[in-house]
Amino acid sequence: MSYIKSRKHAPSSVTQNRLIGTTVAALAASLSLPVYGQATPSTPSETLLPEVRVTSSGAPASFKATTSDNTKFTQPLLDTPKTVQVIKKELIEQQGATTLMEALRNTPGITMQLGENGNTSAGDAFQMRGFGTQNATFLDGLRDVGAITRDVFNVDRVEIVKGPSGSDVGRAAPSGYINLFSKLPTGENFSAANLMVGSADRKRFAGDLSRSLSEDGTAAFRLNVMAQDSGVAGRDIVNNRGIGIAPSVVFGLGTPTRIYLYSQHQRQDNVPDGGIPSIGRSGFYNANAAVDAGPRVRRENFYGSINDFEHVDADMGTIKLEHNLNSQTMVRNITRYGKTKMDRVLTGINTITAVGASPDTWTVSRSRQGVNQENEILINQTSLTTAFKTGFIKHDLNGGVELIHERQVTLGSVVGTAPAANLYRPNANDPMTAPVYTGAVSDGKTGTVAAYVFDTLSLTDAWKINGGARMEHYNTDTVATTVAVAPATGLVGSSLGNSGNLKSWNVGTLYKPAKNGTIYASYANSYTPPGGTNFILSAAAGNQANSALDPQKTTGMEVGTKWDLLNNRLNVTAALFSTENDKQVTQDPFTLTTIQSGKTKVKGAELLAVGQITNFWQVSGGIQKLKANQAGQLSGAAPGVPGVVTEAVRWTPDLTATLWTSYTMAPFTIGGGMRYVSEQKRTITSNTNLATQNMPTIPSYAVTDLMLAYRVSSNINLRMNLYNLFNKNYISTLNNGGSRIVLGVPRSFALTASFLF
């Protein structure tokens, strides 16, 4: 009897030639070396997919995925009525990507965020289709929380699901979510390693050890490890140092009952980057004419302190149990506990002061930020996957229940006044006052109980209806202790709570004019209750986290088509989408009271192409065009004061595009790509004079990368990655106040030696 398997693209036997194009960027570009085939059905009733192997001719494994690892998707990606992009480890390796943010450059429509004014965002912070998605990151289908820059050393693939996704993952997914999947034991025997060196004294090692533990192949072990110590090209002092280890074991491979035990542990010891002043850049403005005309600062300038630090401890452990009741039905339970601690002191910059006529004497004010935060999550998910018929209708169904406990504790601190820095010659050795913890604490908790079901009804071979629903009860509590406002002294306690029921759903209809093509239309919604993204509630009337407010509601519609072309080697997806977020906090223009009538509307189109043009020519590309605006958004109004009307959406470019392609001519593989991001708005109010605004936008930019790989032998590959080939000087991120920027990485390189035995 064949059994349903958890991974819908179970690895085939490893061949030594599969590493052909994977030699890149210096010291272990993501610890995943082995390339695996597709061998497991995505639903109980599907037939096995043909394996994708690296052949003796040196053809690489395809960038194209045919199925999702997400058990809630009951059909192959071709027949899933929404935009889903899978970034496989083969693509991640070719590019020498080592972080989630680097991997996400392969999908259009995602931009990074820097933070609020003098504060700097921690960890992975990004926008997708006009909405923040920082707290919609998942690992193996389970919510992943914590302020951490995620490394991909233990990531098999990254799946990006676009559009409102409340029925998939619950609260706070207005524009979609990011789902990472761990590397798990497969029963293969191999040892793989990546050694990377590169610009800015970059050094990295990643290893992947896989062993079968029993003669019958039912028990297996896998260990992924990573260590790095790297500067940042184009930056002085900034440094990223870390280690990671991810052991995993499985019992029962190939039997009706399988149990996976796995964990992941990361330590980061970084010198964080607070950016540089935006003076001299296109769009810079200062009321002082001399400063307004001032030259740029050196991109290498570090305005922080040698005592700035960022310590991150991230640990999680997972137990996954799967049991096949028969060839059509599988029960699955997964339990995870995770904890992330982040302790950071970062020095940011603010106002430029012209001290004297000479720019040599000008200064920029600095402020220190202390963040001490701990995130904790305990989650249990039980699901059933099955296939059956009711009359002539075939059903592919997945349903389950989910129990989640999440907690975030943040310690409050104060810092003394930091000395101003010389604008053009900052001194990192200036004495700085360390943050002092005041006893203030914010303790936020959210408990969730949810039930969900997804079903695909195959009416005929050509017509299908796909739907899903999720009912969840949430309860958020925030207990805070704050420092009393003078003349009072001591600490003041407060407690706020918010709870409710969320009913999320999606429905899609698809028509297959041919076996290799689909035309679809879908509708979905999601909700974001107060405190739904960070467990913190507020009593402030104008705050979206006010505990008395209703959840924000997001609805989305999408029509599109998907085709597998060139003998199913290349998938092309085209979609039109419209998303509307309602119940945002605004002011009534007549009574000036706080109401929930603000809206954000996003409309756009997206085109993706992923796969092979020939067996040796790979491509992954996409382009997204969108228009985003806000309606009914008024703030700051008072009697006699008109207030501020917000119409645009910050950090949402109208056009983004990404392309990567590679060609293998054994023993060489050559590749390259480009990324384009159009102008991003910082100033988004309609009644503002842009001529007097500092950095109202981030200018558009295009960046080109190259890769060359050489297979030395069946066991060794060398790969060179050249980033920002034309040394484009561009702004990657800008803070909300417009005073600080982080530039994109200048021309730099990474050389990777990959070994497989």
**Mean local confidence (pLDDT), 79-94:** 98
- Look at 102 and 60; give whichever has higher pLDDT: 102
Burial class (CB in 10 A: 0-12, 13-18, 19+), 157: buried
pLDDT number for residue 115 = 55
| pLDDT of res. 635 | 87
* pLDDT exceeds 60 at position 703: yes
Q: What percentage of the chain exceeds 70 in pLDDT?
A: 91
Asked if the model's pLDDT at residue 269 lies above 50, the reply is: yes
A 10 A CB-CB count for 59 gives 22
Residue 747's Cβ-side half-sphere holds a number of Cα atoms within 13 Å equal to 5
| pLDDT given at position 284 | 97
Region 166-184: what's the mean pLDDT?
A: 95
pTM across the whole model: 0.90
- Identify which of 237, 273, 232, 200 has the alpha carbon closest to the alpha carbon of residue 427: 237
Taking 80 as the threshold, does the pLDDT of residue 442 lie above it? yes
Question: What 3-state class would DSSP assign to 642?
Answer: coil
pLDDT for 113-153, tens place per residue?
765 544 555 667 788 998 988 788 999 999 998 778 899 99
* Residue 164, preceding peptide bond in cis (omega within 30° of 0): no
pLDDT in the model for residue 372 = 94
Question: 3-state DSSP call for residue 62?
Answer: coil
Position 289 pLDDT exceeds 70: yes
Return the percentage of the chain with pLDDT > 90, whole number: 80
Is residue 45's pLDDT more than 70? no
Are the CB atoms for 152 and 124 separated by under 8 Å? no
Three-state DSSP at 404 gives: strand
Q: Which is more confidently placed, 445 or 19?
A: 445
Structural domains in the chain, sorted by start:
16-756 (2.40.170.20)
* pLDDT at residue 8 is higher than 80: no
- Residue pair 74/459 in contact (Cβ under 8 Å)? The answer is no
Q: Which letter does DSSP use for residue 109 in this model? A: T
E strand or H helix that includes residue 221: strand 219-231
Question: What is the per-residue pLDDT for 28?
Answer: 34
User: Parallel, antiparallel, or unpaired: how do β-strands 731-734 and 740-743 relate?
Assistant: antiparallel
Q: What is the model's pLDDT at position 525?
A: 98
Residue 718 near residue 697, CB atoms below 8 Å:
no
Query: Are residues 579 and 604 in contact, defined by beta-carbon separation less than 8 angstroms?
Result: no
Distance CA 653, CA 661 (A): 24
Res 589: pLDDT: 87
Question: Is the alpha carbon torsion for 53, 58, 59, 61 positive or negative?
Answer: positive
Query: In this predicted model, what pLDDT tens digit does every residue of 472-514 receive, in sequence order?
Result: 999 999 999 999 888 888 899 999 999 999 999 999 999 999 9
Q: Are strands 363-390 and 393-414 parallel, antiparallel or unpaired?
A: antiparallel
Q: Decide: helix, strand or coil at residue 169.
A: helix
Asked which of 6-10, 518-522, 676-680, 738-742 is least confident by mean pLDDT, the reply is 6-10
Pick from 67-76, 89-98, 123-132, 328-337: least confident: 123-132
Distance CA 260, CA 611 (A): 31
Q: What is the mean pLDDT of residues 604-632?
A: 97
Strand pairing category for 202-212 and 491-514: unpaired
Polymer length in residues for the chain:
757
Alpha-helical (H) ranges within 273-387 are 289-292
Q: What contacts 390, CB < 8 A, 6 or more positions away? A: none
Farthest-apart Cα atoms in the chain, separation: 86
Confidence label for 58 from pLDDT (cuts 50, 70 and 90): low
- In order of 195, 223, 485, 748, the CA distances from 753 in angstroms are 5, 19, 59, 17
Report pLDDT digits (tens) over 300-311: 999 999 999 999
Lowest mean pLDDT of 376-390, 603-617, 621-635, name the range: 621-635
User: What is the average per-residue pLDDT within 519-536?
Assistant: 94
Structure letter (DSSP) for residue 61? P
What Cα–Cα distance (Å) separates residue 167 from each residue in 72, 96, 170? 10, 34, 6
How far is residue 580's CA from residue 737's CA, in Å, rounded to a whole number? 26
Is residue 10 scored above 60 in pLDDT?
no
Give the mean model confidence (pLDDT) for residues 19-24.
Answer: 33
353-363 pLDDT per residue, tens? 998 889 999 99
The pLDDT, as a whole number, for residue 641 is 83
**Distance between CA atoms of 450 and 441, rounded to whole angstroms?**
29
Residue 21: per-residue pLDDT:
36
In Å, how far from its chain's centre is CA 29?
18
Confidence of residue 234 (pLDDT cuts 50, 70, 90): very high
Q: Cα Rg for the chain, rounded, in angstroms?
A: 26
Q: Is residue 22 predicted with pLDDT exceeding 60?
A: no
Cβ(632)–Cβ(598) below 8 Å:
yes
Closest CA to 677 of 143, 4, 255, 111: 111
Q: What is the pLDDT of residue 379?
A: 98
Q: How far apart are CA 194 and CA 755, in angstroms?
A: 6
Average pLDDT, the chain: 90
